[in-house]
Amino acid sequence: MAELEKKPVKIVETVLRDAHQSLIATRLSTEQMLPIVDKMDKVGYHAVECWGGATFDASLRFLKEDPWERLRKFRDGFKNTKLQMLFRGQNILGYRPYADDVVEYFVQKSAANGIDIIRIFDCLNDMRNLKTAVKAANKEKAHAQVALSYTLGDAYTLEYWTNIAKEIEEMGADSICIKDMAGLLLPYQATELVGALKDAVKIPIDLHTHYTSGVASMTYMKAVEAGVDIIDTAISPFALGTSQPATEVMVETFKGTPYDTGFDQQLLAEIADYFRPIRDEALDSGLLNPKNLGVNIKTLLYQVPGGMLSNLTSQLKEQHAEDKFYDVLEEVPRVRKDLGEPPLVTPSSQIVGTQAVFNVLMGERYKMVTKETKDILSGKYGATVKPFNEDVQKKCIGDTQPITCRPADLLDNELDKLEGEMAQYKKQDEDVLSYALFPQVATEFFKYRQAQETKVDETAADTKNGAYPV
């Protein structure tokens, strides 16, 4: 037998971003992550995904940390490994479309603070919403990876995926990611999809999936055999369930094959040893729900991402309507169809989910409509793959004329206005971006930071005055 050409599969480790976002609501703090950075830097990962997504919001809101400071600390620690972030296209790391000047400045500052690879996606797969971010990444010499938000439905044929992959390549992206946030991609479908994409484009292809439905490691195996270049995995204590397949398992699987990563299992074991007590503590405190670690086959039935399932549960709990869970789950695909059958990923997942909850709890569909539902139906998030349900559109936005252009074309530059609003709190250039994304949360954080600094100053003054023995 002729020896097969060696083609080691590249690994993106997600424990510092997606894994803890998916399992413990993004609550790993910088202090919890930094001590292991040195070891992680020796593995040989293609990249560590460590920033963006919900980490930015969670740092400011719950951990009272400056996300930019976290990024700089990662950059200091990872001397040999590329840092990757997740970026929601024109929505940046927020939940609404921003003007181009904010998108460009955010990309510039992300790269300046240490990001190498920017994974950019749009919740509707509207390519027009990716262009500004991709161009900005090109300009900053960052690697622009564009993600297809993977989903199922009549419109989502192989032809659809290969066509947008070609568009992505032409747009100037450096690689493509198949972003399967719900774990819907089945092993044999991965063979077909990866094969078709490899035929259609020349740039490398990364597969990102979640273990939610239980098929993910088989899907990776088939994808790698079909020629996928990169897979996203999480070190075992933060793997499986709503997170990614385990790094060590995939490394072992490909050992001795042409796809061998060459990673040192002993080193991976030491990294796992570090994270295991953190995972156990999260289980003890209730932060990690053991349900998130099992196979959730409903995700295949309802095509709902794991994170969205837990959001729906908590929304219903707040309304004391937990018994309506299955009604809401069945309403989700109906709302999704009404809204043009978009993929369910931030922010479309929140918009569809919240509207489904309203529709069920109010006892009449679209009796109460969120601003975001109206905005989607007005074209403000971009174009959907299928047309909207016209009756629903009429009921929600009346005679308002929907827009059909790229939504950001209608947005005036925002940076100057934002700078004006937050000038009194500014300590670094990046603060305006934190404020742009989360005005209230960032302002509270700035005030907290100010109070902390005052405290430190007072302590220093006391020490000078001899209040503390030296």
Chain residues that interact with Co ion, rule: CB under 5 A: 18, 181
Alpha-carbon distance of 407 to 330, in angstroms, equals 30
- Whichever of 18 and 116 has its CB closer to Co ion, that residue is 18
Tokens of 174: 């450096």
* Phi, psi for 232 (deg, rounded to 5): -105, 125
- Whichever of 239 and 436 has its CB closer to Co ion, that residue is 239
User: Least distance from C-beta 168 to Co ion, angstroms?
Assistant: 18
- Whichever of 12 and 181 has its CB closer to Co ion, that residue is 181
What separation, in Å, do the N-terminal and C-terminal C-alpha atoms of the chain show? 75
- Whichever of 136 and 181 has its CB closer to Co ion, that residue is 181
Report whether the peptide linkage leading into residue 333 is cis, meaning its omega lies within 30 degrees of zero: no
User: Least distance from C-beta 361 to Co ion, angstroms?
Assistant: 29
User: Least distance from C-beta 175 to Co ion, angstroms?
Assistant: 16
- Whichever of 87 and 366 has its CB closer to Co ion, that residue is 87
- Whichever of 18 and 341 has its CB closer to Co ion, that residue is 18
- Whichever of 26 and 359 has its CB closer to Co ion, that residue is 26
User: Least distance from C-beta 239 to Co ion, angstroms?
Assistant: 13
User: Least distance from C-beta 210 to Co ion, angstroms?
Assistant: 6
- Whichever of 345 and 351 has its CB closer to Co ion, that residue is 345
- Identify the DSSP state of 151: -
Per-residue three-class SS string for 19-34: HHHHHHCCCCCHHHHH
Cβ partners under 8 Å of residue 450, min gap 6: 425
Compute the Cα dihedral for 100, 106, 110, 113 and give only its sign. Answer: positive
Cβ partners under 8 Å of residue 210, min gap 6: 22, 180, 181, 182, 183, 216, 242, 243, 244, 305, 306
User: Least distance from C-beta 191 to Co ion, angstroms?
Assistant: 21
Do the beta carbons of residue 173 and residue 142 sit within 8 Å?
A: no
Residue nearest to Co ion (CB): 18
> Smallest Cα–Cα separation from 216: which of 300, 149, 157, 341?
300
> Smallest Cα–Cα separation from 120: which of 239, 112, 375, 104?
104
User: Least distance from C-beta 251 to Co ion, angstroms?
Assistant: 20
- Whichever of 85 and 181 has its CB closer to Co ion, that residue is 181
- Whichever of 234 and 436 has its CB closer to Co ion, that residue is 234
Tokens of 359: 């529709």
User: Least distance from C-beta 45 to Co ion, angstroms?
Assistant: 16
User: Least distance from C-beta 179 to Co ion, angstroms?
Assistant: 7
DSSP string, 75-138: HHH-SSSEEEEEE-GGGTTSSS---HHHHHHHHHHHHHTT--EEEEE-TT--GGGTHHHHHHHH
Q: Would you call 193 helix, strand, or coil by DSSP?
A: helix
- Whichever of 181 and 185 has its CB closer to Co ion, that residue is 181
User: Least distance from C-beta 211 to Co ion, angstroms?
Assistant: 11
The CA–CA distances, whole Å, from 59 to 51, 71, 164 equal: 10, 11, 34
User: Least distance from C-beta 25 to Co ion, angstroms?
Assistant: 14
Tokens of 146: 């564009």
Helix (H) or strand (E) holding 149: strand 143-149
